[in-house]
Amino acid sequence: MIFDEWEIELHGHRVIYRIAGDGPPVVLIHGMVNSSKHWENVALKLADRYTVVAPDLLGHGDSAAVRGDYSLGAHACSIRDLLTTIGIDRATVVGHSLGGGIAMQFFYQFPQRVERLSLISSGGLGHEVSPMLRGAALPGAAAGIWLVANRRVREAIESAGDRMRARGSRKGVYLQAIGRAMRPLQEAAARHAFLQTLRSVIDVRGQHVSAIDRLYLLGELPTLIVWGERDNTIPMKHGLAAHELIPNSRFITLPKAAHFPHLEDPDGLAAALLDWLDETEPGLIEDSEWGAIVGARSPRRQRQAPTPSPAPPSGSPG
């Protein structure tokens, strides 16, 4: 089976996506400076029973890097437009890291299009994040990113990863992933898109976009949270806290993985996803139900508005 690459044009810009398999649709959303290619090992395992679609986000992979909006909402809208164009109305949505934040935003904006939601080492669930990402959000970071993306530096990182992996060190996979991620950043437009995306969710103090106050909305939807036990980029406690806040959610850890479970333990991640998909029924939230779901907490959060006094009879004083 092949994880085929396809190209379409959306709003005048090139968008790349990969697709494999046949069956109910599953959408895989990659993280920052990753691409759809990084999902291949997981996608091919899911494709025996599911139609797997993985887009390159705008400014990432081989999709166009444009001057524009790289917020979570903009990425969610782009995914909606892609799925609509290729004829997918509803799907299970899986997001890794930044892609987890986009997946949650996609659900929030288009709940009727989501059957299940899975968050893999997800952003948007707490404040803390690695010093490397906080540093990349600093003013002047573009020069440092250009240096790391330089071909010789990148090749040195990849070679170090190859040697560490050959010695059996799992950190080698992490370095290889960083090296691959840096390849597109040799282009100025891609570096600009990366910084725009990063700064839309992270500043020098950490993550400044949070979905915590809206996790209760997922109570109507099958939700899976997966975390690598050795993740030093986003702490596992974020996933545990989200699990406590999302009714009927499932939380799984992968001991072999750090922040990139789809690269470090694709077999373990695919097995977790398949078990969850097999054991849950697709959720369905109609547009007509959304108001009741959003308003379910209103009596506990708001004081009831006072009832207006009746207007005085015509001709009476006052």
CB 58, CB 64: distance < 8 Å: yes
Q: Does 143 have pLDDT greater than 60?
A: no
- State whether residue 86 is helix, strand or coil: coil
pLDDT digits 0-9 by tens, 6-65: 999 999 999 999 999 999 999 999 998 789 999 999 999 999 999 999 999 998 888 988
Q: How far is 2 from 120, CA to CA, in rounded Å?
A: 24
Three-class DSSP labels, 202-244: EECCEECCCCHHHHHHHHHCCEEEEEECCCCCCCHHHHHHHHH
Please check whether residue 201 is in contact with residue 207, taking contact to mean a CB–CB distance below 8 angstroms. yes
The Cα-based distances of 20 to 71, 77, 139, 153, 297 in angstroms read: 28, 22, 41, 34, 41
SS3 138: coil
Q: Which residues of 267-284 are buried (b: 16+ CB within 10 A; e: fewer)?
A: ebbbebbbebbeebeebe
Q: Which two structure tokens, joined as six digits, stand for 76?
A: 């969610």
Q: What is the CATH number of domain 4-129+207-287?
A: 3.40.50.1820
Quick check: is 316 catalytic? no
Structure-model confidence comparison of residues 191 and 3, the more confident one:
3
- pLDDT tens, position by position, 56-115: 999 888 898 888 888 999 999 999 999 999 999 999 999 999 999 999 999 999 999 999
Rg of the chain over all Cα atoms, to the nearest angstrom:
22
pTM of the model: 0.82
- Own/partner contacts of 145-149, CB < 8 Å, gap of 24 or more, are 145/185, 145/191, 145/194, 145/195, 146/185, 146/191, 148/182, 148/185, 149/182, 149/183, 149/185, 149/186, 149/191
Phi, psi of 151 (to 5 degrees): -55, -45
In the chain, where the domains are located: 4-129+207-287
**First vs last C-alpha separation in the chain:** 80
Write down the H helix ranges in the chain.
Answer: 40-46, 72-85, 98-109, 131-136, 141-149, 151-166, 171-182, 188-199, 236-245, 261-264, 266-279, 287-294, 298-301
Q: What is the number of residues in the chain?
A: 318
Annotated catalytic residue within 36, 63, 78, 97 = 97
The residue with greater pLDDT, 314 or 8, is 8
Question: Hey, what are 137's tokens?
Answer: 């959000």
**pLDDT tens readout for residues 108-131:** 999 999 999 999 999 999 988 877
Which has the higher per-residue pLDDT, 176 or 63?
63
Which amino acid does the sequence have at 1?
A: M
* pLDDT at residue number 163: 84
- Quickly state the pLDDT bin for 168 (edges 50, 70, 90): confident
Amino acid sitting at position 103: A
Which listed residue (231, 243, 249, 265) is catalytic?
231
Percentage above 70 pLDDT, the chain: 80
Band of residue 313 on the pLDDT scale cut at 50, 70, 90:
very low
The more confidently predicted of residues 293 and 165 is 293
Catalytic hit among 75, 96, 238, 259: 259
How many CA atoms within 13 Å lie on the side-chain side of 38?
32
Closest CA to 57 of 79, 25, 81, 87: 79
Q: For residue 302, what pLDDT is reported?
A: 40
Label residue 185 by pLDDT band (50, 70, 90): low
**pLDDT for the residue 306:** 46
Contact present, 155 and 179 (Cβ < 8 Å)? yes
Active site residue 259: yes
What was the pLDDT predicted at 314? 41
* Per-chain mean pLDDT for the chain: 85
Question: What pLDDT, on a 0 to 100 scale, did the predictor assign at position 53?
Answer: 98
- Look up 231 and say whether it is catalytic: yes
